[in-house]
Amino acid sequence: MNALLRPDAGRRTGRRHPEGPQIGELVAAASDVVAPAWPLKTFIAVNPLQGLEDRPFEGAVLEAQHLRQSERRPDAGLQAVNRELIKWCSVFFDEGQAVFAMPNRHLGLYGAFADLAPFDRRLRKAGPAADLLDSLSDSPEAAIEACLERLRVPRDGREEFLRRALAALPGWAGHVKWRQDWQEPEEAAKRPASLVDYLAVRLVLTCILWPRAAEAEDAPPSEPSFLAELPAREASYRDTLLGKLLPHAGTPEPADRPRPDAQLVFCIDVRSEPFRRRLEEQGDYETFGFAGFFGIPVRVKGYDDDRSHASCPVLLKPSHEVCERASGAEPARVRRHELGRTLLRLPNSFYRWLKYGFATPFALVELLGPWLGLRMLARTFCPSLLAAASTSLKTAVMPPVPTEPVLDGIPPDGQADFAESALRMMGLTGNLAPLVVLCGHGSTTTNNAYGSALDCGACGGNHGGMNARILASILNDGRVRTILAGRGLAIPDSTLFLGAEHDTTTDRVEVGVPAHAGDEHRSRIARLRVDLDQAASQNARDRCRSLGVEAADGPQAVRATERRRADWSEVRPEWGLARNAAFIVGPRRLTRSIDLEGRCFLHSYDWRTDPTGKYLATILTAPMVVAQWINSQYFFSALDNVAYGSGSKVTQNVTGKIGVMQGNASDLMHGLPLQSVHASDEKPYHEPLRLLTAVFAPREMIDPIIQRQEVLRKLFGNGWVQLACIEPEDGRAYRLNRDLTWAACS
């Protein structure tokens, strides 16, 4: 958890000019206006004004508004530059959608452009400045320097000029920033790209297509109206929430709590809160909240996966790689599974070969047209039936086999460290139930470019079931239990840990049963599964109501969610994290009897077991920061879905398999779709509020943490996150001011 990934600041070399900073330094300073934009396959929520978080919230909003206003001018030269840059970025960053790949991508974005641009007839015909294509420098820094001179940009205005150039297409610039600072090095090396490369290409195009760019006048700034009304709306929500929590703050924890039937640990995700409440109504269950990667920063490779992926917050660097292997299955069944996997992949490979070949698409229509037409009708009018048939066929051809994670690469002491940190951080240190279920989550949708946006953000935009199975395997290991007992964490022999996964589209929970589970445990698991299904049925009715779907009872609601999961025309399979507003850190007794309306991230924490504040510091600097990114992306996507979101799904086109554009030549849309934050074109669903963090712990424990952590001073001091403290001693609430002093809440 402490191995924070410090992203490389990108290319920082350049030719120093005696009268000013290096080009790389200018680009780095100007890049605060764009936030990294993750590709669709691992879509990560991020604050679109992330680079401006060192400024007060209101000032950052005004700055971003001003830059976007300036670059929306109906200037023909600006639009021409944007169109050409979009063309070059689309082909360079393509991940396999194009029939023919752009050559020489290994040379980097600027290198490939400089190699091919002299042969671009459109640029050749653009005017006399096209002769620049014959003398392009090999160095992107030198190209930027030459272009700035050619455009007559004054030295004291260069940083601002570059900032405006980046703000013109914040989606494409943000994707380059992700590749520069966040992409895994081995992948980035295949197609190198940095913001220096990006700006070099843009400025070359500007010299040719818009030679008077430096003379463009700024648009007059206008202050957004929402800034005036936002504090009042946030204060109203804060007072309402604290009013619900405070009556339970003084409730003492029973000294001799009876052992519950089961304890379940869910992700802090806001979608877990309503489900936890419904499950607790079914029986003697305790639920906990913890970041969905379960404190295991690893790369994972599932049994049927072709490659591994990082399954932890992007703020962390994976420390190990864990694969799955077949366990407890007959060799003949394993062979059938592997043969079936190969057979199922062959038709897909053949179809892709026909679809993306040069001449074969013509044969594809004749060969598969009738079959695909029937399939299209089935997907449209009976999606659930088709999905069930596909699942049955897959199961028949590729029979499932039980698997287990291979943890040989993590020494027992390291496994014990992960286990101890997770148990202590969530306060699960005693009175363990016979069953402890670690429940990751993911979403299942069809034909949804934004599917990963509905998965677990703590797992890097992936499903979290694998992480749950890894921690369960660690905690079931006798060697690890012995080490933990020596550290004061004794796990009863009768306690069995299980890995599970919560499908947030349907609320179905799939619980894995280890091969060594005894009859008594299996009987308990069977009863738990019944209660999980009942909780899903009840919660499905509430979810359908929020989606505007009528359901007479729970089973009908479940069928409705199943249909939404399988329907390829469904633009809103679920609401995701819409309406998120608060991050609550404290014991479950604070929130157990309250309907929080699915608006709160819930992180379990007991300040009495954390005398140094170590675990609270980790919660505030990791899970809370991820929650703030999520909150900010929903905030700005709802506020201005054109500038910060991605517009309607109806008019989106996937480009290069990396993102979406509106039409065929727009900026790379880097936020959430309209359907994720609006109930209709005119009716909003998500209420834009800055994240409220409520912590049940003494102020004298919180203050030193804030003083030590720059990220917290920035987020709290600049107003990006509102902080409230509920004092355990007197049960009163206090809010943190911008100057980091406390004031009593009314």
Residues making up the binding site: 267, 269, 441, 456
Using only the alpha carbons of the chain, give its radius of gyration.
Answer: 27
Cβ burial, residue 100 (10 Å; 0-12/13-18/19+): exposed
Residue 29: phi and psi, rounded to 5, are -70, -35
Two tokens, residue 351: 């179809």
Annotated binding residues for Zn(2+), written as ranges, equal: 267, 269, 441, 456
Judge whether 714 and 54 are in contact, CB under 8 Å: yes
Q: Torsion-angle region of residue 677: left (phi > 0), alpha (psi -120 to 50) or beta?
A: alpha
Two tokens, residue 179: 């590749």
Please give the helix or strand (H or E) that residue 733 lies within, else none.
strand 733-736
For the chain, the first-to-last Cα distance in angstroms comes to 37
- Partner residues linked to 629 by β-bridges: none
Residue 55: phi and psi, rounded to 5, are -110, 160
202, 274, 548, 677, 687 from 572: Cα distances, Å: 36, 19, 11, 10, 17
Judge whether 570 and 587 are in contact, CB under 8 Å: no
Judge whether 153 and 194 are in contact, CB under 8 Å: no
Residue 683 is classified by DSSP as -
Residue owning tokens 């943890």: 407
Two tokens, residue 244: 């619900």
Strand, coil or helix: 436: strand
Judge whether 438 and 468 are in contact, CB under 8 Å: yes
Judge whether 417 and 353 are in contact, CB under 8 Å: no
- Partner residues linked to 584 by β-bridges: 602, 694
Two tokens, residue 448: 């949804």
Two tokens, residue 271: 């979608």
